[in-house]
Amino acid sequence: MKRVLITGAAGFIGSHLSDKFIKEGYHVIGMDNLITGNLANIEHLFKLKEFEFYHHDVSKFVHVPGDLDYILHFASPASPIDYLKMPIQTLKVGSLGTHNLLGLAKSKNARILIASTSEVYGDPLVHPQNEEYWGNVNPIGPRGVYDEAKRFQEAITMAYHNFHGLETRIVRIFNTYGPRMRVEDGRVLPAFFSQALRGEGLTVFGDGSQTRSFCYVDDLVEGIYKLLLSDYHMPVNIGNPVEITIRMFADEILELVDNPKAHIVFKDLPVDDPKQRQPDITKAKQILDWTPKFDRAEGLRLTYEYFKTVVERR
């Protein structure tokens, strides 16, 4: 049985990855310091002999006994509300944490996949964004702690690949949604769902003309799995290229939730908020034979079922 270490395993994407690798017959070692992760996301795995969990901060030295075949580095605060609250931890997990895990991968002769982000493109001047675009990032702006942590993460990963010959993979993740997102996450989808369910105002920043492209988590996980097992070491965009304005998205949520008290409120656009976000997934199609399968209507319905239960419990 092959062994895989997944950092950030109690988080939104990390927990779904843990499920995927268990299903595919791997022994999964989950690791998380739980500053944004939630053990409830993986409690169903604790009874399995194929799963073990380490409560650990990867910014400190990482030791895992025994062989390792793969490492997936998904530990990091990932929403603006988190990385603005925890800027130092965000920078450390992207730099020191990545360095520690690359060293572990080298010592174990394991292949490592690191979770990068569409935020490496910043507020893009190229649309849609392809992997050759270098980005338009403000390194000292409020989002810089996350953007630059991920850009450094890519740089050190490529350095280990080129200098040490380490087997590395880099996924650039675009907006992803689905069950197990945190209600207080701060990103647009959990905010809209929780506000609509409570009959509050859905917060739309600016005039709502900025665009996003939303990928359902099952599609993302399948793309990551295919990338890990591929022979391609350069960055690959994984996301759903169907683009929508935030104002249109708010209207979709209002229609789905159907709470007469819910409405839209407009607030000032945050500093450095990207105006457009759409992945060019040509590489994923050609190299991985991957395209998203879930349309937004189906994905939102499944996510709504989850948020209904979570918000009602609060």
Sheet order of strands, 51-55 included: 51-55, 27-32, 3-7, 70-73, 111-117, 168-173, 236-238
Q: How far apart are CA 16 and CA 20, in angstroms?
A: 6
pLDDT exceeds 70 at position 240? yes
Give the pLDDT confidence of 185-238 residue by residue, as tens digits.
888 999 999 999 999 999 999 999 999 999 999 999 999 999 999 999 999 999
Q: What is the mean pLDDT of the chain?
A: 95
pLDDT exceeds 80 at position 8? yes
pLDDT exceeds 90 at position 269? no
Q: Looking at residue 184, what is its pLDDT?
A: 85
Please choose, from the candidates 238, 116, 203, 128, the residue with its C-alpha nearest in 3D space to the C-alpha of residue 168.
116
Q: Looking at residue 211, what is its pLDDT?
A: 92
Least-confidence region, from 127-131, 232-236, 267-271: 267-271
3-state SS, one letter per residue, for the chain: CCEEEEECCCCHHHHHHHHHHHHCCCEEEEEECCCCCCHHHCHHHCCCCCEEEEECCCCCCCCCCCCCCEEEECCCCCCHHHHHHCHHHHHHHHHHHHHHHHHHHHHHCCEEEEEEEHHHHECCCCCCECCCCCCECCCCCCCHHHHHHHHHHHHHHHHHHHHHCCCEEEEEECCEECCCCCCCCCCHHHHHHHHHHCCCEEEEECCCCCEEECEEHHHHHHHHHHHHCCCCCCCEEECCCCEEEHHHHHHHHHHHHCCCCCEEEEECCCCCCCCCCCECCHHHHHHHCCCCCCCHHHHHHHHHHHHHHHHHHC
- 146 as an active site residue: the answer is yes
Considering the domain 3-178+215-240+279-293 in this protein, what is its CATH number? 3.40.50.720
pLDDT exceeds 70 at position 292? yes
CB 112 within 8 Å of CB 75: no
Query: Dihedral of CA 240/242/246/252: which sign?
Result: negative
Which amino acid, one-letter code, is at 297? A
Give the pLDDT confidence of 101-116 residue by residue, as tens digits.
999 999 999 999 999 9
Q: Average pLDDT for residues 298-309, to the nearest whole number?
A: 96
Q: Looking at residue 313, what is its pLDDT?
A: 65
CB 139 within 8 Å of CB 125: no
Candidates 26, 146, 160, 225; catalytic one: 146
